[in-house]
Structure 1
Amino acid sequence: MPTEPQRSRAVFSTEDFGLMKEAVANYVRQIADDPRSAKFSNLYHRLGRLG
């Protein structure tokens, strides 16, 4: 009898996304003059769509 694979469980809770967004926002302010800040800013906005 073939069985269906178990559904994977979520790694992060919805509360975690808010915490990660806050941490990324703080980091973006710290590295504002670094060219990588744009990538972290994009990550911040993507996290906002999730949580």
Structure 2
Amino acid sequence: MTEPTRARPVFSTEDFQLLKQAVHHYLREIQDKPESSKYSNLYHRLGRFG
């Protein structure tokens, strides 16, 4: 029986920083819309990784 291959991360630390910046920019654009709370939560979750 062969050993399973190790899972590789999909995103790098730098990717999380880029995603966080993009979400922050978008969040400013939609700040008065109802879906802004979902993007705000995503922004804060991304902050845990970077």
Same fold (TM over 0.5): yes
Corresponding residue number in structure 1 for 2:21: 22
Q: What is the number of residues matched between the two proteins?
A: 50
- In structure 1, runs of 5+ residues without a counterpart are none
Corresponding residue number in structure 2 for 1:47: 46
- In structure 2, runs of 5+ residues without a counterpart are none
TM-score by length of 2: 0.92
User: Once the 2 structures are TM-superposed, how far is the Cα of residue 4 of structure 1 from its aligned partner?
Assistant: 1.8
- Over 6 Å off, 4+ runs: none
Aligned identity (percent) is: 66
